[in-house]
Structure 1
Amino acid sequence: MVNLNDIVSPDALATGLAANGKKALFQKIAALAACAYDLEADEVGDALFERERLGSTGFGGGVAIPHAKIPGLDKMCGVVVLLDPAVPFDAVDEAPVDIVFALLSPVDSGAEHLKTLARVSRYLRDDNNVARLRGAKSTEALHALLAGGGARDAA
């Protein structure tokens, strides 16, 4: 089972991020992914936006898990951002989103993509995990929380 900390580089985290809508948010996530994982920012942003056009990845409670398969990517990668202020996201409960866990997967990662997406979803459906993430005021704190949550979940 993949540890959440194993798929999220410390360079792919941001707290207090401001974005003026989904498109701007995806561009900022793509820029983080480009730096952390040596990807093309435009390609990542476009892939996330195209997936979002199929239906919102905001699943309620202020949380979204945008995801996309990225050509040339050789392993699962994540970008986690805490937004301030929250961004309207067309979520199922219509609440704006302030926690985003973007999952980037290799094109041929069928089952692994779905398993990792389910794992991220389980982690973010836990109210205690969400509350702790919202309390993180630095990327170091965010990284430590993901490491702790991932280790406990894997046990």
Structure 2
Amino acid sequence: MSQPIITPELVLLDADAGADSAAVVTALADLVGAAGRSSDPAVLVAAAMEREQKSATGLPGRIAIPHARAESVTAATLAMARLSRPVDFGGPDGDADIVFLIAAPAGAAAAHMKVLSSLARALVRPDFVQALRDAPDADAVVALVADAVGEAPAAPA
């Protein structure tokens, strides 16, 4: 059975993950590595930041979705941070306080795009974004996101 795309250990809530986009991406990539989904989080960071340099990933609503495919990623993964110190990801209405890192294995273009499009569709809904901002814990975030991307949440351990 494949791993769920997001789990509570891939969620960082109300955290100061650094002063810039590279620091936030690094913090999220480290979560991906700690969850055993990337053999080398630095490779994931480099790929995501290379992508970020081509086109900023900030969206309306103070949200960002940095994303990358990398050889070091072993399973399609979504990591999320709700930041106590918003960070500039080039969004049209200011610094992002909600950041999702989409990490996909190097050959997983179709899966990567499916997750990106499902998540982007959900993030244009103000009720979904507000629910993320109000979520009391990582389990609540996982349930919201799993529902948005069409994946059943993992059963509690």
TM-score scaled by length of structure 1: 0.85
Query: Could you say if the C-alpha distance between residues 38 and 107 of structure 1 is closer, same or farther in structure 2, counting changes exceeding 3 Å?
Result: closer
SS at match of 2:132: helix
How far apart are 1:150 and its partner, in Å?
A: 4.4
Query: Could you say if the C-alpha distance between residues 53 and 71 of structure 1 is closer, same or farther in structure 2, counting changes exceeding 3 Å?
Result: same
Q: Bigger CA drift: 144-153 or 115-124?
A: 144-153
Equivalent pairs: percent with the same residue? 27
- Residue of structure 1 equivalent to 2:109: 110
Q: Note the alpha carbon deviations across 1:102-151, whole angstroms, 9 max, x for none.
A: 11111112222222211111111111100000012321222232244445
Q: Distance in 1 between matches of 2:130 and 2:43?
A: 32
Give structure 1 stretches of 5+ with no counterpart.
Answer: none
Q: Distance in 2 between matches of 1:6 and 1:126?
A: 23
Q: Distance in 1 between matches of 2:85 and 2:135?
A: 15
TM-score scaled by length of structure 2: 0.84
- Residue of structure 2 equivalent to 1:53: 53
Query: Could you say if the C-alpha distance between residues 94 and 151 of structure 1 is closer, same or farther in structure 2, counting changes exceeding 3 Å?
Result: closer
Tell me if the contact between 1:7 and 1:76 (Cα under 8 Å) persists in the aligned partners. Answer: yes
- Residue of structure 2 equivalent to 1:24: 23
- Residue of structure 2 equivalent to 1:75: 75
> Which is helix-richer, 1 or 2?
1
Tell me if the contact between 1:15 and 1:136 (Cα under 8 Å) persists in the aligned partners. Answer: no
Q: Distance in 2 between matches of 1:89 and 1:47?
A: 16
SS at match of 2:8: strand
